[in-house]
Amino acid sequence: MGRRKSGRKIDGVILVDKPLGASSNQILQKVRWIFNANKAGHTGALDPLASGMLPVCFGNSTKFAQYSLDADKTYQVTAKLGIRTTTSDADGEVVSEQPVDVSKAQLDEALNLFRGDIKQVPSMFSALKHEGKPLYYYARQGITIERPARAITIYKLTLDEFTGTEVSMTVHCSKGTYIRSLVDDLGQELGCGAYVTRLHRTDVAGYSGLPMFTPEYLESLKGEDNFAALDALKLPVDAPIVHLPQVQISEADAARFLHGQPITCEQAETSDVRVYNESQFLGVAQVDNGKLQPKRLVS
């Protein structure tokens, strides 16, 4: 028999403002300790050199974390022109240095090539898996793996500031977008190279405009046996899926639904939906041929 996990059985989501320097897993473990949570997971890692929104899910909310992983995201990024590195950020070794002679008009023209539906080759220093290991595992050994270009969407790409050698942008993009690769590709298009000097995630779809909290602030609220101040900051268990349509079912149907049985539904469109009995959240179902097929259930 496995060892039972210790800690509080809590549900919900906390939006952490991840600092520079720490890994996403380090921040996850610290936040889990602060809340004394039995179960926790994050939805989409940020590199140690990246900061910003890191949703941490507790308990039942971890069952719906995939919806946040699949969501579009928004970043603020600053790129340094004239230098290309192995990792496309300040951590890498310099590959080439070129003089920078880029006008605002040339930059605008180049940026326009990266708006909308495009193809992108993932960085060798990404966490994308190859034969069970992340690409960066091979990159650190000097091994290059062939990576097919993947379809992504840049919904919005805004030029915030251009100094002649530095470019600051806001990027609203689909899942699977690598901002470092985007900056490297932009540098290649401009003919001078570029790498990321600052990367900050401002939004994960579904959490737009909601406050984020630093680990230091959360720790300042930690009490020995009183977690009321911390728990008041959590979003509800269904926070990762508020963008899904909502369906109400009766109490009798709720009992069957929670036992994994399909329920008759008037919803015609085939999609994932949030299922409730009055204010009680029950889980996610897939609408299929007039039936609610249970997909993820709340314990």
Q: What is the CATH number of the domain that holds 17?
A: 3.30.2350.10
Provide the whole-model pTM. 0.89
Our answer to whether residue 47 is catalytic in this structure is yes
Residue 126: predicted pLDDT: 66
Q: Which domain holds residue 273?
A: 244-297
* R_g of the chain computed on alpha carbons: 22
Distance CA 24, CA 50 (A): 10
Reduce the secondary structure of 90-123 to three states and give it as a string.
Answer: CCCCEEEECCCCCCHHHHHHHHHCCCEEEEECCC
Q: Does residue 150 share a domain with residue 273?
A: no
Q: Which listed residue (11, 47, 184, 253) is catalytic?
A: 47
CA nearest neighbour of 188 among 43, 47, 91, 79: 79
Tell me how many domains the chain contains. 3
Residue 1: predicted pLDDT: 43
Q: What is the mean pLDDT of the chain?
A: 91
Q: Does residue 64 share a domain with residue 211?
A: yes
Token digits of residue 228: 């009321």
| 131: exposed, middle or buried (Cβ count in 10 Å: 0-12, 13-18, 19+) | exposed
Residue 10: predicted pLDDT: 96
Q: Is the pLDDT of residue 36 over 60?
A: yes
Distance CA 196, CA 280 (A): 45
Q: Is the pLDDT of residue 4 over 60?
A: no
Per residue in 213-250, pLDDT tens?
999 999 999 987 889 999 999 999 999 998 899 999 99
Q: Which residues of 143-163 are buried (b: 16+ CB within 10 A; e: fewer)?
A: eeeebeeeebebeebeeeebe
As a whole number, mean pLDDT of residues 46-70 equals: 92
Q: Classify residue 153: in a domain, yes or no.
A: yes
Q: Classify residue 236: in a domain, yes or no.
A: no
One-letter amino acid at 182 equals L
Residue 183: predicted pLDDT: 97
As a whole number, mean pLDDT of residues 99-124 equals: 94
